[in-house]
Amino acid sequence: MFHIDDHVGIAIAGLTSDARVLSNFMRQQVMGERMMFNRPMPVNRLVTSIADKAQVNTQEYGRRPYGVGFLVIGQDQSGPHLFEFSPSGNSYEYYAVSIGARSQSAKTYLERHYESFADCNLEDLIRHGLQALRETLQQDKELNVNTSIGIIEPMGQHEKPISPPGSFRILENEKVEVYLQSMEKKEEAADPVPAPVPAPAAAPEAAADDDVQMSG
């Protein structure tokens, strides 16, 4: 994850070197907005600017597309936003989405639960995000403290006061462990061993007919 501004942050999937190039470009854009207009840059305009920059590389000879995708989270005057940016230059806004390896498993979880997100508090939303991330792991794997959580606006129950209030921040290490411990462990997915079917009882053998002796 990268901090872009107090109201914007990104999560990446792909080449870290390309992510640094694009994140530095995003920082230049938001700094220019503050210097010229003394306000935070609207999130949709910021995403459009990096989408245009990435799309140029798909058209000009001698350039390669950027090998990284972003999830852009932000808050502006129009409300909270979540955008997906792809190396082709396309960008889409979502209620919830995932990118990266095995992301389809996380998307399936989010599609099943996203209608309940509006009624969730911050702690529940974080747990939903961790549950979706855990869906991308192998069956016998669990999330660990290497997980990072990006939050904007409200302050969690386990966080210390932040300055300025509502700014984007990244939780790591022991700050994440509190949320990991509140998750339910994966259930064993091993199929139960079927009970052996008893063999049918053998039919009793018919008694041999005794020879009938006849005397005349």
199-216 confidence digits (pLDDT tens): 555 555 544 454 445 444
Count of structural domains, the chain: 2
Q: What is the reported pLDDT for 183?
A: 81
Which of residues 139 and 112 earns the better pLDDT score? 112
Distance of alpha carbon 203 from alpha carbon 172, whole angstroms: 70
Q: What is the reported pLDDT for 163?
A: 57
- CATH at residue 109: 3.60.20.10
pLDDT at 68 over 90: yes
Residue 212, in any domain of the structure: no
Determine the structural domain holding residue 146 and report its residue range.
96-186
Same domain, 106 and 88: no
**pLDDT band at residue 191 under the 50/70/90 scheme:** very low
Residue 216, in any domain of the structure: no
Beta strand segments in the chain, E: 2-5, 8-14, 68-76, 79-85, 91-93, 149-151, 169-171
Residue 191, in any domain of the structure: no
DSSP secondary structure letters along 29-82: HHHHHHHHHSSPPPHHHHHHHHHHHHHHTTTSTT-----EEEEEEEEETTEEEE
**pLDDT band at residue 52 under the 50/70/90 scheme:** very high
Same domain, 88 and 106: no
21-35, 91-105, 137-151 — which is least confidently predicted? 137-151
Residue 141, in any domain of the structure: yes
Residue 210, in any domain of the structure: no
Residue 202, in any domain of the structure: no
Looking up tokens 């606006």 gives 153
Same domain, 90 and 101: no
Which of residues 167 and 98 earns the better pLDDT score? 98
Q: What is the reported pLDDT for 99?
A: 92
